[in-house]
Amino acid sequence: MSSNHVVTFNQARRVAIFGGTHGNEMSGVTLVNLWMGNGGEIRRKGGRDQALHHQPQGGGEVLPIRGHGPEPGIYRRESQFNPLFNPSAPGGKDLPYEVQRAQEINRMFGPKGSADAYDVIFDLHNTTSNMGCTLILESSKDHFNLQMMSYIKKAIAPASCPVLLNEDPRLKYATVRSVAKHSVGLEVGPQPQGVLRSNIFEAMRIILKHALDFIELFNEGVEFPPCTVDVFKVSERMDYPRDANGNIIAMVHPNLQDCDWEPLTPGDPMFQTFDGKTIPYEGVGAVYPTFINEAAYYEKQQAFVTTRREALAANAIRKV
């Protein structure tokens, strides 16, 4: 597929915004609650004269969806939800709640891979890491998403909006948002679990505004020309140093803490043991760590992920 080729997609008539996949990530929970009460802010025009607004059946819609995760404020292990999502698994009332809920989402917003699936799902997350506003892309071939992310990056400049590409099947987790034709993860931080910070709330809100503006323009027939999108491609998961019993024996080094997206080169301090020794990074070449010291990833034995920078070419897109 050459970069001169214009890729066409159907109108994005059905858009969902998930807040509360993790119920203690309060920005998304709060925004979606707000929009369920009053959807004016996420209402957009679509097609020619047709209003794209919040209506669960028919027409165009932007649908805020609350918490297919647990009750807000209650911590639930990551492993109890996302990784268990397998839309093709057999159903049944004996399955864990989260799996039943994932299957229900697949029925409501998928089925995954089908023509009936939702066009776009935004999945709102917070992180305790200093990641700013990060867009998560699950396929480097999704020209619709690449164009959307390019649009958002330009719209919020000079603020930055890193794109994290995670398409390596060894490293990625199944996500419920992936039932849609185009799924976008949004991670905004730093924010502790269970806390709502105004700066993080507003940052997430602005990203969503630009994303919905993009969809509206696309639906109105705007053609987006070819472009290049700088992304950070997930390379490797790094665990905390551990003793023979599996207990953590070191912390993220103060020089690395909060330095998401900044280069880490061989020899740079990476961990600090409880007795004060520095453990340096010993990989090959510069990497760009992110998800540094994320609370939810201790249980995944992940202190951070390394990424490498790439520039992805996005073809021109327009609606069919």
- Residue range at the interface with its own copies (CB under 8 A); choices 109-117, 164-172, 196-204, 211-219: 196-204
The single-letter code of the amino acid at 125 is H
**Closest separation between CB of residue 132 and its own copies, Å?**
16
Catalytic residue among 78, 98, 138, 187: 187
Does position 196 bind its own copies by CB under 8 A? yes
Does position 295 bind its own copies by CB under 8 A? yes
Does position 190 bind its own copies by CB under 8 A? yes
**Closest separation between CB of residue 296 and its own copies, Å?**
7
Known binder of ligand: residue 216?
A: no
Query: Measured between alpha carbons, how far apart are the two ends of the chain, in Å?
Result: 18
- 187 part of the active site: yes
Report residue 202 CA to chain centroid gap: 17
Does position 51 bind its own copies by CB under 8 A? no
Known binder of ligand: residue 125?
A: yes
Q: How far apart are CA 53 and CA 110, in angstroms?
A: 20
Does position 140 bind its own copies by CB under 8 A? no
Binding map of its own copies across residues 241-260, x = CB under 8 A, - = no contact: ------xx--xxxx--x---
**Nearest residue (CB) to its own copies, 108 versus 279:** 279
Does position 209 bind its own copies by CB under 8 A? no
**Nearest residue (CB) to its own copies, 85 versus 201:** 201
Q: Residue 47 is encoded by which pair of tokens?
A: 């097609």
Does position 193 bind its own copies by CB under 8 A? yes
Does position 74 bind its own copies by CB under 8 A? yes
**Which spans of this chain sit near its own copies (rule: CB under 8 A)?**
24, 30, 33-34, 73-75, 128, 190-199, 201, 247-248, 251-254, 257, 272, 274, 293-296, 298-299
What amino acid positions are annotated as catalytic residues? 187
